[in-house]
Amino acid sequence: MNNDYELVYLAKENDEIAIDLLYKKYYKLIYHMVKKYAAFNSQNEDVFFNEANLTFYRAVITYKDSNTFATYLSRCLYSSMSNCYKALNRKKSKILNEALYILDDDTDNSNIIVDHTYDPQRILLEEEACRILKDKITAELSWKEELVFELKIQNYSPKEIAEITDNNLKTVYNIIKRIRNKIVKLAS
């Protein structure tokens, strides 16, 4: 009864023994896939493992006879682990995902240890400082310079800025030079 087609068919019929046999057969694949992705994000290994287990059960339910079950499962796991890794590393959730919760043995309180590169207070202070600096700079600029400055901050190239503002490229370079001179004057 080691034939995958038979096991998957029985597993789809809610045969717990077949599900258990399939899981044991492909546990190494699941384990290695989790370890591969958890190597880059070790504090979330349990998240990867839970996602891999859910993916296994989804693969059993959605499997069709187009490929072997092993190929189908490995593709599903790869896709699932990649999506999970991306979700854990999104900028908006990076702060929470970098925090480690350690239960203190003496008390019931949890201590939070945060990687200081993702310190929320520091990030807010830096954002506030950038906003104040940007306000000081824009106060010194003409409306045309301010428009080019805003586009340059958003990483538009001078060529793209020229197209957006309906100016020629030389004019955009001159405006950028004037902006730099005003920023240098503010800094000194």
118-173 tens-digit pLDDT: 566 777 777 888 788 888 888 888 888 888 888 888 888 898 899 888 889 999 99
* Tokens found for residue 182: 């005003």
Q: How far is CA 125 from CA 40, 81, 119, 130, 131, in A?
A: 29, 34, 10, 9, 10
* The residue type at 115: D
Domains of the chain: 4-94 (1.10.1740), 119-187 (1.10.10)
* Cα dihedral across residues 177, 178, 184, 187: positive or negative: negative
pLDDT given for residue 185 in this prediction = 83
Q: What is the pLDDT of residues 44-91, one digit of tens each?
A: 778 888 888 888 888 888 888 777 888 888 888 888 888 877 777 665
Question: Of 47, 69, 48, 49, which Cα lies nearest the Cα of 59?
Answer: 69
What whole-number distance in Å separates Cα of residue 167 and Cα of residue 26?
Answer: 62
pTM, to two decimals: 0.48
